Amino acid sequence: MVQYRPVLIAKRGELSALKALSAGTWSGLKPVLQVPPREWDFELGSYKKTLEEHLRELPKKFHTATKGNAAFLDLSLLDAVTPVFGGRHPLAWFVDEAATHGLELTPLVLPTSHPATVAAAADINARLGRGVGIRLAPAEWTSIAPRVLPRLMTDCGVAHGDVDLFVDVGREFSVLVDQALLAELSNQDGSDVFRSRSIGGAAFPDTAGLAKGLSAFARSDWQLFRDAYRARLRDGAETPDFFDNAIQNPDIEIGTVNPRFLSISGLFRYTVDEDWLVAKGDLFKGQAGLGVGGAALITPVTLLRAHPQYANPIRTETEDWIDAVIAGTQSPGNPEAWRRWATQRHLSVVVHQLSIPI
């Protein structure tokens, strides 16, 4: 079975989605859990929590969400790597603390990771034999910058068989990108075999300024993976696994605007076979007390249910929730709940797509 390794900013909605997944879905899934950045207090001009306060409860929360299923850990969104809890690097502390709860985390590093983070990943591998995940941006591919990956592997103290490699196309999708990706995979074929190799990108759109109603956006990262997988299969070459950023747009997920001045519309992100359907309604919350709360989601999910792609390619628990919201037997909730149900559906759909002939 082809494995799915989604990259998730592990906030409450995403963690709730993971916790609700079935054992069958988890069998095809090993997520990359990105520790969210610290929240900024715009009134005081400082972080709301210290680094230790921000991290303290997360290992336990990650264990609860994953139900003990293994995951990757990515600290690249943190603003600092200063020692915590008696002088330990945050990565080392987090991995060891998670282990006390029964959760096995594999560090994921980037060529741009701080040297202290790379050293911490090397120490974790030396002590626990976890190996590492390595994510390469397009400018860091071996066909473009052949020394980047070997140097990082040396710094981490790992061989090819200890590496879960993520070949990232970023946010660009075209025929030329498809060809470049296939060339990159072929260029890597001459090296020793990696423990795993996943390809993907970040195709979810920026929904700012989206008009009310229902819009469709191509799941270009899925289509790129599918085409590359089929091409490799035809050539008798090793086929890759898949990663994406789920229903997140990494460029806009990390807020830099005071939430007091944000207007939030009722908006639901819904994954179907080839597209995302994004349904937008009235204001959930606006300035000066404007907004209708959860009722802003009723029209969007009603539009979704009437769409011919509703519950395609599979029906999930998200449809049960939508039907109950429309019937008035379930609260429409808030943006956190919307993110939970949308993420839960996306993960379930992708694992299903990877479990059948591609």
% of the chain at pLDDT higher than 70 = 96
pLDDT for the residue numbered 259: 58
In the block, tokens 């479990």 appear at 355
User: Average pLDDT in the 87-104 region?
Assistant: 98
% of the chain at pLDDT higher than 90 = 87
Count of other CB atoms within 10 angstroms of residue 315:
12
From CA 13, how far away is CA 50, in angstroms rounded? 22
Tell me the one-letter amino acid at 236: G
Tell me the one-letter amino acid at 157: G
Q: Is residue 78 classed as helix, strand or coil in its secondary structure?
A: coil
Q: Is the pLDDT of residue 242 over 90?
A: yes
Q: Is the pLDDT of residue 247 over 60?
A: yes
pLDDT for the residue numbered 342: 98
Q: Which CATH class is domain 7-355?
A: alpha beta
The pLDDT tens digits for 186-214 are 999 977 899 999 999 999 999 988 999 99
Phi and psi dihedrals of 24, rounded to 5?
-65, -40
Phi and psi dihedrals of 308, rounded to 5?
-65, -20
Query: Rounded to 5 degrees, what angle do the CA atoms 193, 199, 202 make?
Result: 155
User: Average pLDDT in the 81-104 region?
Assistant: 97
Q: Is the pLDDT of residue 294 over 90?
A: no
Q: Is the pLDDT of residue 306 over 90?
A: yes
Strand order in the sheet with 105-109: 7-9, 32-34, 71-74, 105-109, 132-136, 163-168, 196-200, 241-243
8 A C-beta contact, residue 96 and residue 123: no
Instruction: Name the average pLDDT for the chain.
Output: 95
What predicted TM-score, i.e. pTM, was given to this entire model?
0.96
User: Average pLDDT in the 74-97 region?
Assistant: 96
**143: nearest Cα among 189, 199, 198, 109:** 189
pLDDT for the residue numbered 56: 98
From CA 282, how far away is CA 294, in angstroms rounded? 10
pLDDT for the residue numbered 253: 67
pLDDT for the residue numbered 257: 57
User: Average pLDDT in the 44-65 region?
Assistant: 95
User: Average pLDDT in the 239-259 region?
Assistant: 82
pLDDT for the residue numbered 155: 98
User: Average pLDDT in the 220-230 region?
Assistant: 98
Report the half-sphere exposure of 225 (CA within 13 A, side-chain side). 29
User: Average pLDDT in the 15-23 region?
Assistant: 98
pLDDT for the residue numbered 287: 64
Confidence of residue 258 (pLDDT cuts 50, 70, 90): low
pLDDT for the residue numbered 206: 93
From CA 112, how far away is CA 75, in angstroms rounded? 12
The pLDDT tens digits for 315-349 are 999 999 999 999 999 999 999 999 999 999 999 99
Q: Considering only 24-38, 80-94, 262-276, which range has the smallest mean pLDDT?
A: 262-276
Q: Is the pLDDT of residue 261 over 70?
A: no
Q: Is the pLDDT of residue 290 over 80?
A: no
pLDDT for the residue numbered 250: 87
In the block, tokens 């995302």 appear at 276
Confidence of residue 260 (pLDDT cuts 50, 70, 90): low
Q: Considering only 220-229, 263-272, 298-307, which range has the smallest mean pLDDT?
A: 263-272
